[in-house]
Structure 1
Amino acid sequence: MSEPWAKPHLAPIVSLSCIELSRFRRLAQTRVQIDKKATVLVGANNSGKTSILIAIRNFLAASQVFGAFDISLDQWPALRALGSEWEKLTEDPASAAGDVEKWKEQLATLLGSMPTLDLWFDAQPGSYNLVAPFITSLNWDGGAVGVRLRLEPASSVEDLQRLAWRYREARHPVKDFKKQAHAWPVDLIDYWLRHPADLGCILVYRLDPALGPLANPPAGAPQGLSPKAAAVDRTKLSKLLRVDFVAAQRGFGTEEAESRSSSGTHRVGLFSNQLLKYARQHLNIATTGHGHQPELIAAIAQAQEDLDARIKVALTPSIEHVKKLGYPTLHDPQEIHFRTRIQTGDLLDHSTAVQYRLDDAQADIYLPEYSIGLGYQNLQSLSYQLVSFRDSRLKPSEGSPAAVHLVLVEEPEAHLHVQVQRIFPQRASELISPTAPEHAHLSSQLVISTHASHLAHAENFDRLRYVRRIPSPAGAMPCSDVIDLATAFGTDKETRTFAERYFRVQHTDLLFADAAIFVEGAAERMLVPLFIERDFQKLDKRYISFLDLGGRHAHRLRPLVERLGIPTVVITDVDPVEVTKDANGKTVRKAAAIVDPKGLECGNDTLNGWHPKKKELHLLAEPAEADQTWSNGNGGRVRFAWQVPVPKNGPWPSSFEDSLILTNLDWFKAIGQETGKKPAAGEVALPKVIGPLRVVVDTVLAEPDPAALCKELHAMLREKFAKAEFATTMFERISMGDKFACPAYIADALAWLDKELAPSKTGPV
């Protein structure tokens, strides 16, 4: 066994591996794996990404920053019940003999409803002096170290009794009011809204690594804490972990007059604001020789001496006039002298302290910072904040630098150009990491929340954590959990590589959407959103990601769809094939029109391998609900849509285009009959029927028999038919208001998705 006080490694000796959040807002019970360099939180709006960052910041902040709304909604009934019990008190329980066991039960209920944050560190033997306050075994030789932070309105029966009496005193005068909505406090939650200080403080406890997420096998839920557990001095944690937070930049550019607030500080986000803060922390040094920048000290001293002399010359005449009034007196012969004290930070505290030059050829032309582009300003500001965090960490006011530095960045993509978004996680990680060899044992970790696909896809799936809204029935409290996408594909490296490359090339917004629709080709990608806008107004208001993957390849992303758990529609072709034998006895699968479905098979890999797994084509003609809908049992549901006979028992199309045509035969016939007609007075001239639309119209008019027409359309579409141009023409016609029906197999799938996303199923969004 190595000595626990061994010399530190050249690699980081402690790193944060995992956090567990409980009962904080909609994060009822959430585990987040933390990457050693950068962790990227992705997910739909209002899923809980920002709440994760805020929870970490609030638990580790130096001052109390919790409010009643930070407690998960599902804990409110138990807390309100406690308040109701306290309303019945007739005398101060602290001064009266009471049922101690009852108060202990109430204390357990109260603490069991409070938010907690568990920090799990991976510590090497050389870190013993850092983790000693938190280890639970005398035989510790490196490994997992667990720390729990818990919000505690009361930590003992005596504390609880005092809280109960304060609440009772506030509630007693209004408890009999008929209009409860106008009486404060309505309940214990309402009481805490006005008195957040009574939510108490954060206490720190040790956790048993054998019962934690880093054990083998990992624990399924956060471990319970004994009522007798002793709190640890919170200052010990500051030696182990430092947390800095960069909030989202939501301001917009403005004129220089608005670049300062009424209090005189610069607008958040300007580079000069970060520079000023840095200067005050690191450059405000006296001219006594203290500090590590002798050149700067000498320059300031000389400037201060020159300034003092110039001030004396400028003000001496006015002082001579003051002397005429008898000051200084004969008994006070001291002369007035001037001595300034220059603070370097103050030199930068004005609107034009930071300027930029257009080009080297115009050396005397400078523009103020607020004239720089927003993207450049924000990039500068973010960069300087990160550098400032690093330097503050390495030069603490006392003691040594914290072993682990966790920097939280909320939505850095605001005003950042796409090129910068792609490299931001890597560059930001470099900016917060110390470069000196003597600091190699320190760990620097980044956690980013984002809505930008370019930023998210710059990283591989190892660093992506998907924050998922858990579907809840009507009346249930909304909650979220976190999916580690590093494990989404298991050992299937081929599928994972395909997914990562597809996401980088397409920059799909799947990781931020409320729902997903996989489409077969360009025609569906263009027209399905138009049908949604026209026929499904509620669905049109949802954030839907369209993936032009080719329905037959949708199964490649099946592991990801299963893990995300968002409602998904896969619109694909039935791909009928005729199976024969060649002269050598080899099986040949050839695409065919659907004339006799009993002699054909489904050639679609997604329908064969994922769902409904019915290879004989005739079994797909009249699908039941179970054939069309798949579920993984964890809330994720997928609806599969493929072509069916039009109408029922009619001809069976095999692609989106011929299904669209057969569904709207009367429209195509009418277009053909109106060709060449001159518009009547006051009528708008109809668009000319040319290109692929002309080909379709001629085919429809030439073959009146629907079954034969279906075969003709299949042959036409397999030739050199311009599907993209046809889709564009149909898009134009539908946009102009032409009465054009959506194929039934797609309309049914969209109706299913509309129902899946109804508020009664998803909860507040």
Structure 2
Amino acid sequence: MYISKISIEGFRNFPQNEILFNDGVNVIIGHNNSGKTSLIKAISLVINSETPRRLELDDFSKSTTLENLQRLPPSVSISLTFKKSTDEPPNSEDLVTVSNWLTVLSADYEAKLTYKFFLPIEKHDEYIDSLQECDTKDKAWQVIKQDYLRFYTYKIYGGDPSLLQTADSESLQKFDFQFLNAIRDVERDMFTGRNTMLKEILDFFLDYDIKSADEAVKTSEVKLAEIKAAKQAFSVQATALITELQIRMRAGKDQILNYARQTGATFNNATPDFDGGISEVELFSALKLIIGYTGLDIKIPATHNGLGYNNLIYMSLLLAKMQVNSDGKYLGSNAKVFPVLAIEEPEAHLHPSMQYKFLKFLKENRLERKVRQIFVTTHSTQITSAVSLDDIICLHNGGNTITAGYPGKCFAADAAGQESKAYVQRFLDATRSDMLFAQKVIFVEGLAEQILLPTLTKYIGTDIEDHHIAIVPVGGRHFDNFLRIFDSTQPFTIPKKIVCLKDRDPERKLKAARSYTKCYTFESGQDNVLYDYVNHIEGKVVAHATHPNIRFFGQNHKNGKTFEYELMLSNLQNDVLITNSISNRDELSELIALYNTGSLMGDLLNRIHHSPAATNFRNAIEALADPAWTEQEKNQSILAQRYLSSVGKGENALELATFLEENILLPDVPANPGDSIKKAFNVPDYIQQAIHWICQ
């Protein structure tokens, strides 16, 4: 079986939420304060018998109103739903464990456990009278803390919670919930045999070659006999050691006893002496964990090992302990049936490659059924990029409302949906998986936009880092594949605010042709008899104009083409865009100078160097007879097209971003003659609109 669902009411930042889980690994992600730790705590309250189950005032959800507090005492309710696993045999031990808590009586059974923290009914009238005097929520919570919290109690109910059937403690003890929090003292917990956990593990794995032997080779009786013989042999050896110790202590003991006689400790013929024995378990206290290096004659204590490796060692010991706890032959009826492992931020102290290996290790342990269900909370993009979309649960806090998204469930079951899912899974690397953690996301087509956008936002007085916005390149025009995860009009999605910056990229095709090809901006719509025309932004803008959380922005005007093209159209006043990596630097600088002195189109075209591409462009723009295109607009097209043809996107973007970051720090007016001053730079209108919308 597995925990398929948790329903939470009134607990911390979960006023009323339902979250679905996977049978196996559950990677729970989200930005800070999205409820990841609280979710693990909620699971623990139901099935972890080792943790205190009383709550504090801060554990109540504070989203309720004063009127609700005055009407009824606040309470916490947490329900776990258990379902049959797909590979679970009939009449399994799991089914026996939850048989008294069943809510669905069929082969595919369901069971439920519900934790409730509440004020007893006999205190309700007194509580309601007391709260009537409170005129603010703060005063109401203060009264609850001072006068009523001590009367609160908890119960765990099995089955339908309305029936108030208390779950039996013996069945609850069958759950083994192990939790590693983010700030863990692994050194205290594992380095010597004096530690209870390590001592239990060592005792279990003592004589493991005998204990783990196949029953067909050795029966239980033979195993017991061999282990008993080994214990007896150890006892004989231990007795010999104690005897040898007694002999070596003989003279010293006489000296000690002489002091005893002088102090009167031998009164009434009572003589102190030394005797004793030692067992294997007692000898464990003499052991300590060391690290040996293969091929090198080096051994160091684990206390000198790195934190990352020690965390991995501790986790492996914890899994070994869970194996001990679930071994029925070793613990009999006290054995656990359902081991659950929860780890908070496993990436702490772990290198990215170690994070991947650790995750693989967890999956293998789950497949071997050493751990039945695993919950991992993380901020690591390395971990999310290494797991399946189906394993990820994304918590999102939008305006103090927690929602859960399931990226793997956002895609339709048809061929197109599964192809889209495969695309996202394939390209969900560490960079792109940042979209799952950020508060808001801006999708861009490529590397140039990703590099330059953080700098451009500073020129309009906004720092996107303050708004926890991730900029994610989707690789071309594949926006729709990623948007399926965030479309709030569909189930299972993550309702973050999303901006898509998409190029217009006009295209045309002959009426009889099958495919479109790129065309110049001024060619679009010029011959509707011979050609069909399209662009890649207009329809998207219209389709998402009223969408609850997604907007498209682009160069949605007749001379719009690409990001780089628009940068030049917005900055024709000077040579701010002319970086060292640009080919044709001199040509572009002269073209800008000609434009700003009011030169004719022919003068600009004559300055363009000769090439087949340049000749095609010249012929096309000279053939333009549409009066809707002014000479100034044609000249702007010349500069923008030449700039677009001259930039190597990645290298130029890095160089331009560096220059713009330095430029924005310069003064508008020089303090001294000869000092550098800030060059004017304009951010394209569509980018300004996008930033204002996502930040509002």
Contact 1:150 1:202 in 2 (8 A): yes
* 1:739 counterpart residue number: 680
Residue 727 of structure 1: which of 653, 662, 677 is its match?
653
Task: Write the mapping of 1:264-413 to structure 2, written as runs, cut at 5 A.
Answer: 267=187, 271-272=190-191, 276-283=195-202, 295=230, 298-299=233-234, 302-303=237-238, 306-307=241-242, 309-310=244-245, 313-314=248-249, 315-325=252-262, 327=264, 329=266, 331-332=268-269, 334=271, 336-339=273-276, 341=278, 344=281, 347-348=284-285, 353-361=288-296, 363=297, 365-394=298-327, 399=333, 401-413=335-347
Correspondence 1:458 to 2:386? yes
Identify the residue that residue 484 of structure 1 maps to in structure 2. Answer: 406
2:355 is the alignment partner of 1:421: yes
| Structure 1 residue corresponding to 2:553, chosen from 641, 655, 665 | 641
Question: How far is 1:274 from its partner?
Answer: 9.4
Which stretch shifts more, 542-551 or 588-597? 588-597
CA 1:277/1:329 → structure 2, altered by over 3 Å: closer, same or farther? closer
After superposition, the Cα gap between the structure-2 partners of 1:718 and 1:657, relative to the gap in structure 1 and judged at 3 Å, is: closer
Sort the Cα spacing of 1:201 and 1:297 in 2 relative to 1 into closer, same or farther, 3 A: farther
Residues 603/384 of structure 1: CA separation in 2 closer, same or farther (3 Å cut): farther
**Deviation of 1:502 (Å):** 0.6
| Equivalent-residue separation in structure 1 for 2:102 and 2:526 (angstroms) | 70
Distance 1:671 1:410 in 2: 47
Q: Does 1:518 align with 2:443?
A: yes
- For 2:655, give the aligned amino acid: T
Tell me which amino acid in the other structure corresponds to 1:48: G
Counterpart among 72, 79, 98 of residue 131 in structure 1? 98
Give, in whole Å, the separation in 2 of the partners of 1:743 and 1:695.
23
Amino acid at match of 2:507: V
Check if 1:589 corresponds to 2:516: yes
Distance 1:275 1:594, change over 3 A: farther
Q: Give the distance between the partners of 2:494 and 2:46, measured in 1 at CA.
A: 28
Encode CA deviations 1:59-91: one digit per residue, 9 max, x unaligned: 333332422222222336356315xxxxxxxxx
Specify the SS of the correspondent of 2:159.
Answer: strand
Please state how far the C-alpha of 1:204 moved relative to its aligned partner: 0.8
- Counterpart-to-counterpart distance in 1, 2:19 and 2:635: 57
Please tell me whether residue 199 in structure 1 is matched to residue 163 in structure 2: no
| TM-score (norm. length: structure 2) | 0.77
Coordinate RMSD, CA, aligned: 3.9
| Residues 518 and 551, structure 1, Cα contact 8 Å, conserved in 2 | no
* Equivalent residues of 2:338, 2:372 under 8 A apart: yes
1:657: which partner in 2?
564
What's the CA shift for 1:701? 3.1
Deviation for aligned residue 1:748: 1.4
Matched position secondary structure for 1:201: strand
How has the CA–CA distance of structure 1 residues 740 and 692 changed in structure 2, closer, same or farther, with 3 Å as cutoff? farther
Task: Give the Cα separation in 1 of the matches to 2:9 and 2:644.
Answer: 57
Using a 3 Å threshold, how does the CA distance of structure 1 residues 360 and 295 change in structure 2: closer, same or farther?
farther
Aligned counterpart, 2:7: 20
- Kindly indicate whether the alpha-carbon contact (under 8 Å) linking 1:454 and 1:507 is maintained by their aligned counterparts in 2: no
Q: CA deviation at 1:413?
A: 1.3
Contact persistence 2:347–2:355 (CA under 8 A): yes
CA distance in structure 2 between the aligned counterparts of 1:644 and 1:313, rounded to whole angstroms: 96
1:120 is aligned, of 82, 89, 94, to: 82
DSSP 3-state at the match of 1:72: coil
Structure-1 separation of matches of 2:242 and 2:364: 41
Q: Find the residue that maps to 1:654 and give its secondary structure.
A: coil
- 8 A contact 1:554–1:606 mirrored in 2: no
What residue is the counterpart of 2:606 in the other structure? none
Determine whether 1:531 maps to 2:453: no
1:459 deviates by: 1.9
Q: Secondary structure at the match of 1:652?
A: coil
Residue among 176, 180, 184 paired with 1:246 = 180
Shift in alpha-carbon separation, 1:299–1:191, aligned structure 2, 3 A: farther
Q: Tell me the SS of whatever aligns to 1:586.
A: coil
Residue of structure 1 in register with 2:122 after alignment = 158
> How many Å apart are 1:56 and its aligned residue?
0.7
Identify if the C-alpha distance between structure 1 residues 506 and 689 changes in structure 2 by more than 3 Å, giving closer, same or farther: closer
For the structure 1 residues 523 and 57, does the alpha-carbon distance in structure 2 shift closer, same or farther, using more than 3 Å as the test?
Answer: same
Map of 2:638 onto structure 1: 712
Structure 1 position 186, deviation (Å): 3.9
Q: Secondary structure at the match of 2:324?
A: helix
Q: 1:193 and 1:79, CA in 2 relative to 1: closer, same or farther beyond 3 A?
A: farther
Q: Find the aligned partners of 1:671 and 1:240 in 2 and give their Cα distance.
A: 68
1:580 to 490, 496, 510: 510
- How many residue pairs end up in the alignment? 608
Residues in 2 aligned to 1:692 and 1:23: alpha-carbon distance in whole angstroms: 65
TM-score (structure 1 length as normaliser):
0.70
Q: Deviations over 1:513-561 (max 9, x none)?
A: 1111111222211110112345444533232222112462212212112
Contact 1:16–1:122 (8 Å) recurs in 2: no
Per the alignment, in what secondary structure is the counterpart of residue 17 of structure 2?
A: strand
**Secondary structure of 2:574's aligned partner:** helix
Cα distance 1:296–1:489, how it changes in 2: closer, same or farther (>3 A)?
farther
Q: 1:52 aligns with which of 9, 14, 39?
A: 39
Q: Distance in 2 between matches of 1:41 and 1:117?
A: 18
Question: Given residue 685 of structure 2, which amino acid in structure 1 is its aligned partner?
Answer: A
Question: Does residue 552 in structure 1 map to residue 477 in structure 2?
Answer: yes
Instruction: Compare 42-51 and 713-722 and name the one that shifted more.
Output: 713-722
Q: Please tell me whether the aligned partners of residues 24 and 71 of structure 1 are also in contact (alpha carbons under 8 angstroms).
A: yes
Aligned residue type for 2:140: D
- The answer (yes or no) to whether the contact 2:524–2:533 under 8 Å persists in 1 is no
Matched residues, percent identical? 18
Closer/same/farther in 2, CA of residues 348 and 324 from structure 1, 3 Å limit: closer
Separation in structure 1 between the aligned mates of residue 146 and residue 538 of structure 2, nearest angstrom: 54
Q: 1:568 aligns with which of 478, 487, 498?
A: 498
| Counterpart residue number, 1:612 | 542
Q: Is the 8 A contact 1:570 1:639 kept in 2?
A: yes
The alpha-carbon distance between structure 1 residues 431 and 487, as it changes in their structure 2 partners (threshold 3 A), is closer
Q: Relative CO higher for 1 or 2, CA cutoff 8 Å, sep ≥ 6?
A: 1
Does the CA contact (< 8 Å) of 1:577 and 1:590 recur in 2? yes
Determine if contact 2:14/2:402 at 8 Å carries over to the other structure.
Answer: yes
Identify unmatched segments of 5+ residues in structure 1: 1-13, 83-108, 208-224, 252-265, 436-441, 473-477, 614-627, 646-650, 673-686, 756-765
Secondary structure in 1 matching 2:390: helix
Task: Please give the alpha-carbon distance, in whole angstroms, between the structure 1 residues aligned to 2:402 and 2:468.
Answer: 18
Cα deviation per residue 1:383-413 (whole Å; 9 max; x = unaligned)? 2112212322335866153432222121111
- Counterpart contact for 1:569–1:639, Cα < 8 Å: yes
Question: What whole-Å deviation, never above 9, does each CA across 1:545-601 have from its counterpart, x for those lacking one?
Answer: 2211246221221211212211111111111123434xxx32553322222654387
On the 8 A contact 1:276/1:345 being kept in 2, the answer is no
In the aligned structure 2, how far is the partner of 1:688 from the partner of 1:606? 32
